[in-house]
Amino acid sequence: MDKQAAIKYLESRAQDFYKLSDKIWGNAEIRFKEKQSVNDYEAFLKQEGFEVTVGLAGLKTAFSATWGSGKPVIGFLGEYDALPGLSQKAGVAVKESLESEGNGHGCGHNLLGVGALMGAIGFKHYLEENGKSGTVVYFGCPAEEGGSGKTFMAREGCFNNLDAAFSWHPSDYNMMPPGPVLANDSIRYSFIGKASHAAAAPEAGRSALDALELMNVGVQFLREHIPSSARIHYAITDTGGISPNIVQAHASALYQIRAPFAPELEDLYKRLNNIAKGAALMTDTQVEIKFLKGTSNTLLIPALDEIMYKNMCEISNPIAEAKDLDFAYEIVKTQKSPDKLPENAFVLKPMPWNKAGNIPLPGSSDVGDVSWVCPTSQCGTSTWPVGTAPHSWQAVACGKSDFAHRGMLFAGQIIASTAIDVLNNPEVIAKAWEQLKEKTGGSPYHCPIPSEITPDILEAEIT
């Protein structure tokens, strides 16, 4: 059996995978709460002959599914968490929720997890048919959105025995990442003041809300003086109450910071802390700084990326049928003004591969932590129209479309083919590990989440 037979095998079973993806889409569960999704995966994987272990790294909704034995040990990274507040009807090009304040797969993780599963099963099928040695490990990774599931898993050594790992992400292009995603930290700043009557005794009060507002202003001025690739986001999670005639005794905000590399992120974290302390000093309040979680930047491995890109270019790209185009243009119109509509709603030809890997991407992913532990490669395939923003109702609306299904199949075929090529060319794994050691300087993986932060603590903080 050759690689083409594995590609065709996945195509022959496509409907099985489409049904699973749609099932996950229809039961959108957010970080740490993906119980039904895990049950669906477990049932599917056991039917495929995998041995499933649920509850990795203290995460109730993390699991591994293993088949085979011997080297190489190849990992496939799947996700299945949704986003809060993005409930949306499928195939509808207007904002129309299925459930008020409900969840939705606005980042396409219903597709991501099943596409990675297709890669694992395609690789397993090749090993079976050819009687070759090799171990397939599919990882169910929860809470990528705001929970850093893979970071906890990496901290506990879940990926330590892998020779290589593969994944992908839904996108509006067929592409390899042009550069690394950003390292990411989340911190809660809580100010404690003193309540008082705002009119009768304002001098007796110490406003925590004033302190928080001053911190936010200070951060606004900081933005001019950070690298252009860095990012600072925040959400006020406690305003201290709803009564304006009471001096607010407590107020807090959740900050998220990003930078291409850990040293830059550490410097940014220190500067935010100084601003918070300064705001507390100006208002005679106290500030509690609580580091919650972090993720690492990705380390790109050219030895693997080159093979993945080659497979992307060789495998037949998904086609866009007339009904796909009609729906796609309706989606595009909700995001673009009439004078800025793209000529084509889909770009199917793979984008040129940026071999330098020097263009940082603005987002973050806990895949970065896996990439510090073992050589890792991932691609993006087109599952929604050009210009569609992730974390949007438009992305949710596209999640069960025929075109999204075909983009997911394409990703699964790419991943399976890449794993097969690595299996048949063992020198690639050796080269990939050399490149990883060059990028890390030989230093061991350092988890950005301190050991005292457990999944239960983080879940309580961010829920």
CATH number at residue 107: 3.40.630.10
Q: To 10 degrees, the CA torsion angle through 90, 94, 99, 101? A: 120
pLDDT of 317 reads 84
Mean pLDDT of 156-171: 98
Place of tokens 């690492």: 296
- 58-101 pLDDT tens trace: 999 999 999 999 999 999 999 999 999 999 999 999 999 999 98
Tens digits of residue pLDDT in 213-231: 999 999 999 999 999 889 9
Q: Are residues 364 and 409 in the same domain?
A: yes
pLDDT level of residue 244 (50, 70, 90 thresholds): very high
When divided into structural domains, the chain yields a total of: 2
Domain boundary pick from 275, 295, 315: 295
Name the β-bridge partners of 277: none
Indicate the residue type of 142.
Answer: P
- Please say whether the beta carbons of 24 and 38 come within 8 A: no
For the chain, the average pLDDT equals 95
Residue 345 shares a structural domain with residue 380? yes
Largest CA distance in the chain: 85
Residues 131 and 56 in one domain: yes
Question: What pLDDT digit, counting tens, does each position of 323-360 carry?
Answer: 888 999 899 999 877 777 777 888 889 999 999 999 98
In a domain, 457, yes or no: no
pLDDT greater than 90 at residue 377: yes
- The verdict on 42 and 176 lying in the same domain is yes
Percent of the chain whose pLDDT exceeds 90: 89
- For 34, the domain range is 3-181+297-440
CATH code of the domain containing 274: 3.30.70.360
Q: Answer yes or no: is 460 within a domain.
A: no
Q: Which of 261, 295, 329 is the last residue of a domain?
A: 295
Same domain, 15 and 159: yes
pLDDT for 408 beyond 90: yes
CB 77 within 8 A of CB 168: no
Task: Judge whether 86 and 104 are in contact, CB under 8 Å.
Answer: yes
Please indicate, yes or no, whether residues 268 and 317 belong to a single structural domain of this protein: no
Residues 165 and 251 grouped into a single domain: no
Do 94 and 151 share a domain, yes or no?
A: yes
Residues 409-433 pLDDT 10s: 999 999 999 999 999 999 999 999 9
* Same domain flag for 165 and 234: no
Task: Assign 300 a pLDDT band (cuts: 50, 70, 90).
Answer: very high
Residues 220 and 263 in one domain: yes
CB 346 within 8 A of CB 386: yes
pLDDT at 463 over 70: no
Are 284 and 302 in a shared domain? Answer: no
Q: Are residues 249 and 307 in the same domain?
A: no
Q: Which amino acid is at 218?
A: G
